[in-house]
Amino acid sequence: MARSLVLSNGSLCVTLDEKAQVRDVYFPHVGLEDHVRGHYIHRVGVWVDGQLSWFSEDSDWQIEVGSEGEALASSIVARHTGLQVELVFKDIVYNEKPVFLRRVTIINKASRNRDIRLYFAHQFEIYKSHGSDTAYFDPVSHSLIHYKGQRVFLIGALLDSVPFDDYATGRANFQGKEGSHKDAEDGALSKNPIEHGPADSVMGLYGTYAPQQSRTVHYWMCAARSIPEALELKEYVNTKSPEHMVKTATNFWHAWVNANEVNFDSLSPEHIALFKRSLMFSRAHVDIGGGIIASVDSDMLQYGLDTYSYVWPRDSAYVALALDRAGDTNVAKRFFEFCREVITEEGYFMHKYLPDKSLGSSWHPWIQNGVFQLPIQEDETALVIYALREHYRRSHDLEFLEDMFNPLVEKAANFMVRYRDPETKLPEPSYDLWERKRGVSTFTASTVYGALVAASELSAILGKDSHEANYKKAAEEVREAILKYLWDDKAGIFINMLGKNENGVTRDTTLDVSSAFGVFSFGVLPPDDERLKRAFENTVRILSHGIGCGGIARFQGDDYYRIDTVSPGNPWFITTLWYAEYLIARAKTETDFVRIRDIFSWVVRHAQPSGALSEQLNPQTGTQVCAAPLTWSHATYVIAVLKYLDKVAEFTKK
């Protein structure tokens, strides 16, 4: 079950699923230490007329999980016709402190007085390890507290300013016990005050409701490194009041997403709403330490060997590009500071990183067929330098550029100059951007060209003449080599990859949309070049064939989460929006702009009601597949929209 919402302040990150349940709680880093881990659930349930109904277990709940248009907050409605109850949620993570807040309006839809009881049940796996947790009721603060070591979660709630009525602690998923939520079936809890091991808890808020009456619950969860710190946060909530915190956090996001004036006149309200939500979803994945997480959807772990909760320099660079273009240069600045800390002495980035700057997991070996190799994707190194040049163009922060040049730009650019085949001048082999093949891909070579041009320009700004000349010369050599070795004039495509085996050089001619996009995006050829036009036409025609829902697959025969054999692979938001970027660059008439807006509308149609974009789609039904929300998808939409708006402005001036 993909995530419908990600709520975060850079330290505490909470995800909600399509049933409005908490499924991930990351603290103190976004994407690191998931204390729920997806396979546990923070349930929500209602007891009325002698019947208990949990959101996750009763299919009669009609739950609409949306998000506010201009705040990183939920907008959820849950209706149960049989129980004649409606709940309206607004969820948000407070922007100044690690506090998750839920405001729930409970409405009695019946025509008689009734007792309605709202339950919140909690199952943690603190530090991502099963057991040794403690859950207890603290009578002094009137809170439920879960803790292990230096991780503490304090939970409280009010019904119309009155603290929760009932509670229980117990054990979950152990010795045949499902969890303390089962204790609520009779509408009363045991008040067991403490439990340890795989401990869980449940709280109840009881009230009498007149016909059509609504009452409001304010719920909060404070995350801290110690119990005294958690209690201080609880006092902070009391002093500020939960409602005040909800309002001020909403105001913060409203101000942030509207900080820069954008002329959206040529776009529909739906396009604009997704643009703003994409900005906020991207921002939600930014860790306080500068790392930008690909996705915090932990359900990936249930179907694969790992999650996407890592800092991929590639994905992060695209998010930094998007937020820079949208006006938030602060995020990009902190990301480049992160990169300065993790780049190797040799000048390249490894596969991926954790947000605390430690090395992430990888499947790229250091040796292949008995021969040493660097287990890298060189496009990740290149894209960081390319994005830094774009950051400087918008920030004009000369002092920051000086701070970054020697430890980041120079290191990486010197590596890219050095890590080339002495004969062809192309980059040496590395893994491709899809992390599947090793060789010299057109996309990677194009990013290296773009990065070396960027490094040359940054050198010129700082008056480093020899660096400028060196990087410029190497860039031109790479460009000439791309056109010489990677263009197939007969087929009218840029080939996917050059490789080597015992028989010599191999040519992988698998159609891959990243090949044409790389040549276009990083300026190897101008948009109107006939070779590029042929490459895009041939690639898009084949990679969209057989896809009933629309969109473009990554490459021929893509088997990652593959649904059928009719299509070349599942369509991705990223690849389809890449084609939109190319169309934007070539647009000359209003008809061209209509075609681009049609792609934006396609993205909107396939977004979740909350605005979340996944990685890919079922090629026939259009339902979302794989991780959601994916920051790279959201960043690509933001970039495409801003490029479109720039092009429209240019067009209207003529």
- Residue 569 CA to residue 555 CA, distance in Å, equals 7
- Residue 645 CA to residue 294 CA, distance in Å, equals 26
pLDDT score, position 304: 56
Q: Which two tokens stand for residue 487?
A: 């263009």
- Residue 263 CA to residue 272 CA, distance in Å, equals 10
Report CA torsion sign: 543, 299, 28, 236: positive
- Residue 408 CA to residue 399 CA, distance in Å, equals 14
Q: Which residues contact 615 (CB under 8 A, 6 or more apart)?
A: 295, 572, 573, 574, 625, 626, 627, 628, 630, 632, 633
Helices and strands: H and E segment counts in the chain = 16, 31
Mean of pLDDT over the chain: 95
CA-wise closest residue to 630 among 294, 192, 318: 294
User: Fold identical between 40-256 and 312-347+367-528?
Assistant: no
Angle at 600 between CA 598 and CA 603, to 5 degrees: 110
pLDDT score, position 173: 78
Backbone angles phi, psi at 224, to 5 degrees: -150, 170
Please state which architecture CATH assigns to domain 312-347+367-528: Alpha/alpha barrel (1.50)
Proportion of the chain above pLDDT 90, given as a percent: 91
CA-wise closest residue to 617 among 546, 562, 565, 578: 562
CA–CA distance from 635 to each of 249, 280, 285, 540 (Å)? 23, 10, 11, 21
Question: Per DSSP, what are the bridge partners of residue 78?
Answer: 63, 87
Where do the structural domains in the chain lie, given as residue ranges? Answer: 40-256, 312-347+367-528
CA-wise closest residue to 283 among 458, 592, 70: 70
- Residue 432 CA to residue 45 CA, distance in Å, equals 47
- Residue 611 CA to residue 626 CA, distance in Å, equals 16
Please count the other Cβ atoms lying within 10 Å of the Cβ belonging to residue 244: 11
pLDDT score, position 172: 86
pLDDT band at 298 (very low <50, low <70, confident <90, very high): confident
- Whether 301 has a pLDDT exceeding 60, the answer reads no
- Residue recorded with tokens 């100044």: 96
Instruction: Specify the pairing of strand 74-80 against strand 371-372.
Output: unpaired
DSSP state of 428: P
- Residue 249 CA to residue 260 CA, distance in Å, equals 19
- Whether 504 has a pLDDT exceeding 90, the answer reads no
- Give yes or no for a contact between 409 and 385, defined as CB atoms under 8 angstroms apart: yes
CA 77, 79, 84, 86: dihedral to nearest 10 degrees? -10
Q: Which residues contact 589 (CB under 8 A, 6 or more apart)?
A: none
pLDDT score, position 1: 54
- Residue 516 CA to residue 530 CA, distance in Å, equals 12
pLDDT band at 61 (very low <50, low <70, confident <90, very high): very high
- Whether 2 has a pLDDT exceeding 80, the answer reads no
What pTM, to 2 d.p., does this model score?
Answer: 0.96
- Residue 625 CA to residue 553 CA, distance in Å, equals 13
pLDDT per position as a tens digit, 547-563: 999 999 999 999 999 99
- Residue 303 CA to residue 483 CA, distance in Å, equals 41
pLDDT score, position 305: 66
**Sheet with 51-54, edge to edge strand ranges:** 51-54, 44-48, 114-123, 199-209, 166-171
**What's the full length of the chain, in residues?**
654
Look up the CATH number of domain 40-256: 2.70.98.10
Report CA torsion sign: 546, 549, 551, 557: negative
pLDDT, mean of residues 208-223: 98
CA–CA distance from 500 to each of 175, 430, 503 (Å)? 56, 12, 8
pLDDT per position as a tens digit, 119-151: 999 999 999 877 789 999 999 999 999 999 999
pLDDT per position as a tens digit, 594-629: 999 999 999 999 999 999 999 999 999 999 999 999
pLDDT score, position 178: 80
pLDDT band at 265 (very low <50, low <70, confident <90, very high): confident
pLDDT per position as a tens digit, 313-347: 999 999 999 999 999 999 999 999 999 999 999 99
Q: Which residues contact 174 (CB under 8 A, 6 or more apart)?
A: 197, 198
Range of lowest pLDDT (197-201, 228-232, 300-304): 300-304
pLDDT per position as a tens digit, 440-495: 999 999 999 999 999 999 999 999 999 999 999 999 999 999 999 999 999 999 99
pLDDT band at 99 (very low <50, low <70, confident <90, very high): very high
